[in-house]
Amino acid sequence: MAGQSTDTEIKTKKAEGSIQTFQEKSIFASYYRSSQYATLAEKLRSQSFSLGWTWILQTGISELGTNMNGPEFFDVFELVGSNYSQSQLFQFEAKTNNPWYTDYVYPLVYEGYPVAGVINLKRRTSEPLGLPPLKAIHMRQNPSDLMLKEEMVFANAPISVDPTMTSIVFNLPLEMYRDYLDFQSTAANLSVTQSSPRIDLLLLKPFPILRTGTYNLDIKYVLPGIRKVVSVNPFTINYQSSNR
């Protein structure tokens, strides 16, 4: 109204503290490139395989193998471990449906295990090879430590060194022969106080040499970490005596 004054008071407040702006920070980085094949079966089909060959390890005992060649190698993560290690991504297990085993090795070495009811395996535990040692198979590649490096992934380039040889090695004859010697040693000690046709068989019959024929096995693909078998791929080595 006329003749009256109005007082106005303006107050301000200052915000205290700080503003934080967060940014992404990399704490782990990994570089990878997958196989050109969706499954192990596809990769195996891309390979060419030789006829079976043998390599003499000692008198009467040979390893059996087949060489393979294809557009994609196997790297260190697939092959890592000792010859029979079950930690790699590939695992192998032989079938027993071949005459060399069913007609010669089994009746002499493993039939009726414990042999004669009292002879047990002493030189090794049953795992990881099994009893009989059907897992005594491995993949041999030279060099065995091939691995994709970061710069190869970015350049979409292959490993600069190709393997000179990749083979599947069927080493059951050697491991079964070692079991035979183990059982035979116990049988010799038992023969001092007792005798039976089964003990006599172990003492008197030599270990059978590898016969020609087909040798079947399974190649298994195992997920790392959880050790789950996700595929089983039948495979056959065709061995003829002239392939040495």
* Annotated domain spans of the chain: 43-239
pTM above 0.85, yes or no: no
Q: What is the pLDDT of residue 70?
A: 85
Alpha-carbon distance 3 to 8, whole Å? 17
What is 92-121 written as a DSSP string? EEE-S-SHIIIIIIIIIIITTTTBTTTB--
Alpha-carbon distance 162 to 146, whole Å? 8
What's the chain's average pLDDT?
84
Return the higher-pLDDT residue of 204 and 156. Answer: 204
Q: What is the pLDDT of residue 222?
A: 87
Instruction: Determine the average pLDDT of the residues in 160-166.
Output: 66
Residue 31 has pLDDT above 60, yes or no: no
Q: What is the pLDDT of residues 186-218, one digit of tens each?
A: 999 999 999 899 999 999 999 999 999 999 999
Question: What residues are paired with 216 via a beta bridge?
Answer: 236
Residue 221 has pLDDT above 60, yes or no: yes
Return the higher-pLDDT residue of 35 and 7. Answer: 35
Instruction: Determine the average pLDDT of the residues in 100-128.
Output: 96
The 3-state DSSP class for residue 148 equals coil
Angle between helix 197-204 and helix 172-190 axes, rounded to 10 deg: 120
The 3-state DSSP class for residue 89 equals coil
Alpha-carbon distance 110 to 115, whole Å? 7
Q: What is the pLDDT of residues 54-74, one digit of tens each?
A: 999 999 999 999 999 888 777
